[in-house]
Amino acid sequence: MNDLFFGSIADLQMRIQRRDISISELAKLHLEHLEQVNPHLNAVVQFNPEAIYQQASLLDDKLAHENALSPLFGIPFTIKDSIYTKDLITTSGLTSRKAFYPDYNATIVNRILAQNGLLLGKTNTPELGCSDETENQVYGRTSNPYNLLMSVSASSGGEAAAIASGCSVFGIGSDYGGSLREPADFCGITALKPTQGRISRHGHHPPFFGILNPLMQFGPMARFVSDLELIFPYLVGEDIYDPSVLPNKMQKVLSSGSNHVAFYDEDDTASSSQNTKKIVASAIDAISQEGFTVVAHKPDKIEDARRYWYALMGADGGASLKSALSEMPFEELSPAIHTCLKRRETLSMSTKAYFSLLEDINRWCASMHEFIHPYKAIITPVTSATNRVHGFSYNTGVNDLNFLMPYNITGWPAVVLRVGTGEDGLPSGIQILAKPWHEKDLFDLAKLIETASGGYKPPEMLFLSNQRCGAL
């Protein structure tokens, strides 16, 4: 039974193809599991059992008459609550949207549904993604399935917790500063931030236009790297609603001929613990044994990325954030949103200063592309946080995104995966980065490291009194 909740997409699809289980049975089992686990986690915040069973029945009818099935056929998945779903409330964590039904699906949702995936529900996210903690005033706080006292980070934290706990098989999140990658790390799963321009971001609140456009990407989250690799081709491609996405004929998945990999595990603004360095070292050892040459090499001025990221986000003095919040009564804004607004107001700049900032960023990006040129990939930690209790970012002000933010600015693809366990008992892993359009290099290296380390391990979920769901 555990394989149904904690196995791979390929394992589930094999059972479906052999008719070992119907989609209706799979839906029923996942809903029962969700109803048992989710009250403790608060990861899945919207789901409609009647609609799920209806869709499952339709898929069973197709299953009776079709032999060539998509790998995603009948596979239960969830969607971050900032991504539009026509038949499920989408709040983006805002009280003003607690009854908001979009009149269309996000492009990425339609693409999964076109492959006959089974949409289970929506997962929790902070207000407009503006927090390192997954909590809001609509649904409350999401807890980590490995320890309910611990954070899931943000802003795709509900998605990470749902997948890690077996409530969902895979899902979609968004990332403009680490929002896919850090929650995946905290919850011991894997996630892909694709190359900028690879996947449509149509159907998201706040919209991807303006300041967010060069930073934000949608990406898949799953338990295993092979799942990411399987999902990825069904998500990519041009979209008339997102002009930043490249045409299909230009969307080649490339692979570098280099066998050299760079790594760094600290910078001038974020130091890593000895345990984090050991986790990075174990990943390096895994690929070294496969013939890769790994060198310690940190990009020059990598520390500038944090300043550039915050300058971009605050260049308009918070005007874009205020626009996204225009329907919200001021007194209903959370402390996290107030903090975010105050920070952005202090960073407001003139048009001349903004143009100068863009020039500095372009020069920095050029130097980063020069840096990665001889390498197949770069390996870093995911976070410098070592005590990831609820409120960790509020209480410590830790610069926990320093390894993540730079690569939203460069637009490079990145994969995170579990390699070990942190000092605080939560899963801990690494980030792998590659050149633009070289997602294959990420998948290949990540699978080598996953095989050596064991990758995802189901949480024990000892908060369930009547069963143990796995082993940490």
Catalytic residue numbers read 80, 155, 179
- Strand partners of residue 191: 221, 416
306 contact partners, CB below 8 Å, separation of at least 6 = 269, 399, 401, 402, 405, 406
Residue 220 to residues 84, 185, 228, 292, Cα–Cα distance (Å): 15, 14, 6, 27
Question: Would you say 172 and 219 are in contact if contact means Cβ atoms under 8 Å apart?
Answer: yes
Structure tokens at 253: 């998945």
- Strand partners of residue 230: none
In 3-state terms, what secondary structure has residue 431?
Answer: strand
CA 46-183-429 angle, to 5 degrees, is: 145
Reading across the β-sheet that carries 76-80, which strands appear in turn? 44-46, 118-123, 76-80, 170-175, 217-222, 190-193, 414-421, 427-433, 377-381, 260-263, 293-296
Residue entry with tokens 């345990």: 275
- Rounded CA-CA distance 443/404 in Å is 18
Question: Would you say 204 and 122 are in contact if contact means Cβ atoms under 8 Å apart?
Answer: no
- Rounded CA-CA distance 461/190 in Å is 19
Question: Would you say 344 and 321 are in contact if contact means Cβ atoms under 8 Å apart?
Answer: yes
454 contact partners, CB below 8 Å, separation of at least 6 = none
Structure tokens at 79: 């969607």
Question: Would you say 132 and 153 are in contact if contact means Cβ atoms under 8 Å apart?
Answer: yes
Question: Could you tell me whether strands 217-222 and 170-175 are parallel, antiparallel, or unpaired per DSSP bridges?
Answer: antiparallel
105, HSE (Cβ side, Cα atoms, 13 Å): 13
- Return the number of other C-beta atoms located less than 10 Å from residue 332's C-beta: 13
